[in-house]
Structure 1
Amino acid sequence: MTTPNGPVELQDIVFPDQANHYGTLFAGHGLQFMAKAAFLAGRSVAQRDVVMAGVTGVEFLSPIPVGDVLTLRAWVSRVGRTSMTVCVTGLAETLGAPREEVLKGVFEMVAVDAAGRPIAIERSYISKETA
């Protein structure tokens, strides 16, 4: 993971219990990985908890076989009063082969207080690259 307002990177390996009947990453697990990366990137910028309000444009570009290493990269592309847009891409790597883009999506995240209600994102936390 990187600095509070920079991109977040996560790595994981695809295990058999995350696969579908074809031996590749089940889409539900792919969405879960992407949502986790979006949450971490959003929380880093907002400096408070965030929840997912929506997902758009999710694409599964290629199958990800069991044993591949999946690297997810998430960054905040827009910050509003209480919400933000987080872009996520996923790269898969098989031993001895170059990384290939396999997933991408856009997540809308909302900053929330302890009761789970939307709360304003303090501008002092936002870097110039994010704003």
Structure 2
Amino acid sequence: MFKTIEESQVTITQLMLPSHSNFSGKIHGGFILSLMDQIAFACASRHSRNYCVTASVNKVDFLNPIEVGELVTLKASVNYTGRTSMVIGVRVESENIQTGEKKHCNSSYFTMVAKDENGKNVSVPGIILNNKNKIRRFARSIARQEQAKNRTTAFKTSEFKMEEYLDAIKKQNALIEL
């Protein structure tokens, strides 16, 4: 079974309140991460028709601060489907209500796994890729998976070759005392 990406997309908009702010008066990154996880869950669950759990989050860069009083819009789409997992792309934008100025605040990728009522992994429908952008996003997810496998292997304790990294470490803000 295959579904269009549009069938599962979710968008939410929320007003940022003072209770969402950190000590510097900006919206707390942890609050935004929580909203991102919620919308990724909603999108993955809508696609799979099962409850889903977060398996991993790939790279969260906070590009622009979010101010109290701004509207934050989160958009989630299925970018990739495996057998039981999905990669959900989440985009966060803020909008100044008075000026209408919009800022891209971050984008991230949540790997979600579908579960049945007994907590066992369950198969998910595939996605229909009907334009170049959707194919690009799917291919990008495949590439990220390969990069993650390579990172895991290179830095495994039994595989790590310290000598290959010493020169690079010496150029950083660290002191090696062996």
Q: Do the structures match in fold with TM over 0.5?
A: yes
Quick check: which has more Rg, 1 or 2?
A: 2
Matched with 1:46 is 48
SS class of match (1:50): strand
Superposition CA RMSD, Å: 1.8
Deviation at 1:15, TM superposition (A): 0.9
**Distance in 1 of aligned mates of 2:92 and 2:22:** 18
Structure 2 length-normalised TM: 0.66
2:109 match: 106
Q: SS in structure 2 opposite 1:90?
A: strand
Percentage of pairs with the same residue: 29
Give the structure, 1 or 2, with the largest relative contact order (CA under 8 Å, sep 6 or more): 1
The one of 56, 59, 78 equivalent to 1:57 is 59
Structure with the bigger percentage of helix: 2
In the alignment, what sits opposite 1:80? 82
Match of 2:118 in 1: 115
CA deviation profile, 1:54-83 (whole Å, cap 9, x unmatched): 001111111101111000001000001100
How far 1:18 sits from its partner (Å)? Answer: 1.0
Corresponding position of 1:36? 38
Moved over 4 A (4+): none
Is 1:128 aligned to residue 128 of structure 2?
Answer: yes
Shift of 1:98: 2.1
Q: In the aligned structure 1, how far is the partner of 2:9 from the partner of 2:114?
A: 18
Compute the displacement of 1:22 (Å).
1.1
Specify which structure has the higher proportion of strand: 1
**Equivalent residue letter for 2:23:** H
Classify the secondary structure of the residue corresponding to 1:36.
Answer: helix
2: CA distance, partners of 1:42 / 1:62: 26
CA contact (8 A) 2:8 2:44 kept: no
* d(CA) in 1 for partners of 2:85, 2:74: 21
Is 1:19 aligned to residue 21 of structure 2? yes
How far apart are the structure 1 equivalents of 2:26 and 2:101?
18
Say if 1:67 and 1:94, in contact at 8 Å, map to a contact too. yes
User: Structure 2: where are the runs of 5+ without partners?
Assistant: 139-178
Are the counterparts in 2 of residues 5 and 127 from structure 1 also a CA contact under 8 Å? no
